[in-house]
Structure 1
Amino acid sequence: MRTDLANASLPRAVLLPGASYHGRIDLVAVDLVLAGRRPASTLDDDHKLYAIVMRPGPIRAKARALGLPEVTVARYLAEHGGGPP
């Protein structure tokens, strides 16, 4: 599956403590992929962008879990500031 992160967007909804969704982003699915317990192909581009920007962890580990080049992960992390939108 080819991804196009250029068209991905971060949610603007408020993230409540204990929530399992942030807007339409399934936080459980993101965490399962980053933990290596689910394949990256189960996430769409918005979920992958969320994983890159909003979840802690080294660039190399995120890139490996998401099936993306490290350069791509570093670029999107830098572009979006590595924090909430």
Structure 2
Amino acid sequence: MSTRSADLANARLPKGEPLPEATHHGWIDLVAIDLVLSGRRPPSTLDDDHKLYAIVHRPGWTTKGKARALGLAELTVARYTPADEGAGGDPP
């Protein structure tokens, strides 16, 4: 991830780690993100901050899989994906 992209992600997202089994991380609704990623809600129900959070904090997906689930371009997802995340795979 480029330095500029990392700075934007760090500035816009809540600090710290969410508690285990938490439903929110600051103003981010973790349940809504999970519903969109699982295909049970359309991506249009998430705002940009929620989509950015999903890209940065939901490992285990390919860039293409996240882009499809979130209704974003692959380049956008790749730009904000942490470099150490690796290839991953699409969830079942």
What TM-score bracket applies, with the shorter chain setting the length? 0.7 to 0.9
TM-score (norm 1): 0.78
The one-letter code sitting in structure 1 at the alignment partner of 2:54 is A
Counterpart among 58, 69, 74 of residue 55 in structure 1: 58
The alpha carbon displacement at 1:70 in A equals: 0.5
Q: Separation in 2 of the partners of 1:13 and 1:42? A: 25
| Match of residue 33 from structure 1 | 36
Structure 2 gap ranges (5+): 1-7, 86-92
Counterpart among 8, 12, 17 of residue 9 in structure 1: 12
Structure 1 gap ranges (5+): 1-5
| Match of residue 73 from structure 1 | 77
The alpha carbon displacement at 1:36 in A equals: 0.8
| Match of residue 46 from structure 2 | 43
The one-letter code sitting in structure 2 at the alignment partner of 1:10 is L
TM-score (norm 2): 0.73
Q: Separation in 2 of the partners of 1:42 and 1:34? A: 11
Q: Which of the pair has more CA radius of gyration?
A: 2
The runs of at least 4 consecutive aligned structure 1 residues that moved more than 4 Å come to: none
- Provide the aligned C-alpha RMSD in A: 2.1
- Give the fraction of aligned pairs with identical amino acids, expressed as a percent: 64
Q: Separation in 2 of the partners of 1:13 and 1:21? A: 12
